């Protein structure tokens, strides 16, 4: 089984949470997620998240505390399953004009609206924690 580590950011502004929709031409098309990406060798979770948020959204982020860690296995038909270790960090603030560089779309939604979106399975626990005010 292939294993990867991923860092994701919880960005909140004006009582809204930023969510991002995967591109329709990519893997797991049109699923919603929190911005972030794969942690490269010799890179920490916060370093990865700073790099990814710059690449994906053109922002310089101040990465805060780790708010959740989860593990999820994505079974793949006809190929190797992937075990994802996902680290969620609070983004304390950011500098720059946010631009959508890679996603189908990005949205600011209230915590109560999160459950209306079709999130990646690995993100569902954090969606529930945000919805219930535990983060």
- Into how many domains does the chain fold? 1
Residue 4 phi, psi dihedral angles, 5° rounding: -135, 155
Question: Alpha helices of the chain — where are they, by DSSP H?
Answer: 45-57, 124-131
d(CA 120, CA 95): 27
Total-model pTM:
0.93
Q: Helix, strand or coil for residue 111?
A: helix
Say if CB 101 and CB 57 are below 8 A apart.
yes
3: tokens are: 């294993």
The rounded distance, in Å, linking the Cα atoms of 135 and 131 is 9
pLDDT score at 76:
76
pLDDT in tens, 64-80: 999 999 999 998 766 78
CATH of the domain at 61: 3.90.79.10
DSSP-assigned letter for residue 30 = T
| Cα-trace Rg, the chain | 14
Report d(CA 113, CA 96) in Å as an integer. 26
Helix (DSSP H) and strand (DSSP E) numbers for the chain = 2, 7
- pLDDT tens per residue, range 76-128: 766 788 999 999 999 999 999 999 999 999 999 999 999 999 999 999 999 99
Which residue range forms the structural domain that includes residue 20?
Answer: 2-131
């Amino acid at each position: 089984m292939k294993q990867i580590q991923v860092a994701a950011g919880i960005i909140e502004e004006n009582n809204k949470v930023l969510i991002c929709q995967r591109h329709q031409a990519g893997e797991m098309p049109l699923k919603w997620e929190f911005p972030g990406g794969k942690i490269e060798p010799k890179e920490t979770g916060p370093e990865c998240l700073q790099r990814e948020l710059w690449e994906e959204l053109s922002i310089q982020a101040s990465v805060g505390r780790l708010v959740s860690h989860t593990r999820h296995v994505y079974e793949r038909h006809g190929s190797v399953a992937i075990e994802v270790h996902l680290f969620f960090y609070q983004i304390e603030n950011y500098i720059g004009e946010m631009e959508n560089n890679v996603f189908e779309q990005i949205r600011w939604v209230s915590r109560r609206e999160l459950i209306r979106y079709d999130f990646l399975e690995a993100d569902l626990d954090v969606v529930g924690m945000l919805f219930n005010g535990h983060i």
